[in-house]
Structure 1
Amino acid sequence: MRVGAIVLPEHGWARTRETWRRLEEMGLDHAWTFDHHSWRDLRDSPWYDAISTLTAVAATTGTIRIGTMVSTPNFRHPAVLAKQVMTLDEISGGRFVLGIGAGALGADSGLLGGPELSPATRADRFAEFVELSDRLLRSPATTFSGSFYEVVDARMVPGCVQRPRVPFAIAATGARGLDLVATHARTWVTIGDARRPGERTDTESRQVLRRQLSLLAEACEKRNRELGSVGKLVNLSRAFEAPFASPARFADLLGTCAELGFTDVVVNHPRPSGVFAGDVTAFERAVLSTR
């Protein structure tokens, strides 16, 4: 089981650098940051750009894989994002993973103006975003005209370090999103029940995750893809309560997720108060007990 952490991009560079270096020292397999322009109750608090932050992190770490959790069509354009991703892949020495999601309603979804999109239209946009990103990152030159995006002779030279392109980690639970996972992703990402993150009992969460894994299996079968070729990542901080309350609790959840069929877990790096509040020492003790 690979273990990772999510660090919110809310601190200045000195503290951010220290946190990410510590995660690498702890032997974590991967670490991620939220990619929002601003986020929920922290909208009026310090919040930095994910791509810029990860570029600096890439230059000051050497082994840990890094990624966005997740980039979305809400305010990212595939052509601009693809160039940033290619650059990040180079600076990190091929350690970058592009996490992608449809994007939730909220401040980010209204940032660039325009009407609120229906769920069906958002799903259409998500599909075009993923498919165009795939095309951009594989090709030295791309021209494209779709329902949501137009790209004219976008050049991607020299291309990604990782071939044929940077791997995608796609967050999805519905049929259309899981089809994108089966078609384009190296890793599938879930937080369990997105409507009640962290509120379900362990038994309920296991049932939710088992159903989602079954739907992923169906999507892979339709695309003639081996289910075992898809990494399966769950955010323990959203799917379960108090994942690092103790080393025993953390180990038990890792065992549960492995038994269900997950290959990766992440937990949110604890904050002093508010969302994801917790004790850093308890977090490190729990994680290190599995290293």
Structure 2
Amino acid sequence: MRISIWPGAEHPFAEVLSMAQHAAQTGWDGVWFADHFMPNDEDDTGPVLECGSVVAALAAVVPRVKIGTLVYGNTYRHPAVVANMAATVDHISDGRFILGVGAGWQVNEHREYGITLPPKRELIDRFEEAVQIMLGLLRSPRTTFRGKYYDVADAVCEPKPVQTPLPLMIGAKGEQRMLGVVAKYANIWNAWGLPSLIAHKSAVLDRFCAETGRDPKAISRTAQALVSVDAPIPDDLGATPVIGGSRSQLADAIAEYRAIGLDELIIPDELLGTGAAKLSAMDTILELARA
């Protein structure tokens, strides 16, 4: 099972870079970064680094590890723009980029920037059209797509990515439609959740794969939960999934993810402390994951 780190977008870039470099030096498999512009809070004035700029910068200076978006919100950029961004970052990283995409959801960003956040049905319809355009541009010489929401005509995206194909991750949990979109188009699936929930959602994804005639093994399964290392789990996290506490509890949780067939566990840094303590917590997590 791969193990990857997810630095928070609220940190100064120097701290994000420090975590990514530490991950590359100590044996982590990947570094992920979220696509948001402001905190999802009543106080929306906190700093948030822009995702596309950060992954390009990390791709240029951090060696070895995979670098990915977790995940680009479809409503923020035209899919042709995203495809060109992804191909470029794959070249900057020499073939280590993973394009993670999702339908989009954060209300305050759409409200403040005047970006339309459609009703759920339209949101998913738009997303499925966008995915087809991105895959066409990244994998075919030219792409023509005539949809309800997007049109591209004999469009090019050059240079093509280094990877053939560049992996597409879709972040999704909806059992009515979104996991069906994953089954049709994704190389990688991602969701928040404890092992029991991820196992359930993965089984639903398998059923969608059977309906579409796709081998479920063609889609890697990835998940994340907050992680507490050598500290009690905070009681104010609401429904956010969290694992750990003691080292033995954390080791048991990691083993549960491995047992359900998870391919990659992604660790957000929210509960890992600051400075040297954060890097030490990363070392402990990696040690337990590799044991």
TM-score range, shorter chain: 0.7 to 0.9
Match of 2:197 in 1: 208
Gaps (5+ residues) in structure 2? 227-238
Structure 1 residue 234, shift from structure 2 partner: 1.0
The equivalent of 2:99 in structure 1 is 98
**Mapping for residues 73-112 of structure 1, pairs under 5 Å:** 73-110=74-111, 112=113
1:183 partner SS? helix
Equivalent position amino acid for 2:184 in 1: T
Which residue type is aligned with residue 8 of structure 2? L
Specify whether residues 149 and 111 from structure 1 end up closer, same or farther in structure 2 by C-alpha distance, changes over 3 A only: farther
DSSP-derived class of the 2:59 partner: helix
Mapped partners of 1:105, 1:124: distance in 2: 18
Aligned to 2:213: 224
Identical amino acids, percent of aligned pairs: 29
**Aligned equivalents of 2:246 and 2:286: distance in 1?**
10
Deviations 1:113-138 (A, max 9, x none): 36542211111111112111111111
State the distance in 1 between where 2:177 and 2:5 align.
27
> Does residue 10 in structure 1 map to residue 7 in structure 2?
no
**Alpha-carbon offset, residue 233 of structure 1:** 0.6
Q: Which moved more, 1:140-149 or 1:129-138?
A: 140-149
TM-score, reference length from structure 2: 0.85
Partner Cα distance (1:110, 1:28) in 2: 37
AA at the equivalent of 1:156: C
Change (3 A) 1:142 1:46: same
Write the distance in 2 (CA, Å) between the matches of 1:28 and 1:206: 21
Distance between the aligned counterparts of 2:69 and 2:135, measured in 1?
16
TM-score (norm. length: structure 1) = 0.85
**Count of residues in correspondence between the two structures:** 274
* CA distance in structure 2 between the partners assigned to 1:282 and 1:15 by the alignment: 15
Deviation at residue 30 of structure 1 after TM alignment: 1.1
Say if 1:32 and 1:69, in contact at 8 Å, map to a contact too.
Answer: yes
Q: Do the aligned partners of residues 6 and 272 (structure 1) sit closer, same or farther apart at CA in structure 2, a change above 3 Å counting?
A: closer
1:154 equivalent in alignment to 2:183: no
Q: Which residue of structure 1 aligns with residue 230 of structure 2?
A: none
145-154 vs 21-30, which moves further? 145-154
Unmatched 5+ stretches in structure 1? 193-204
Aligned to 2:71: 70
Per the alignment, do residues 116 and 78 of structure 1 end up closer, same or farther by CA in structure 2, a change over 3 Å counting? Answer: closer
Q: Deviations 1:2-29 (Å, cap 9, x if unpaired)?
A: 1111112233333332221011112111
**1:17 partner SS:** helix
Distance 2:2 2:240 in 1: 17
1:200 alignment partner in structure 2: none
4+ residue runs over 4 A deviation? none
Secondary structure of 2:46's aligned partner:
coil
CA distance in 2, matches of 1:65, 1:48: 19
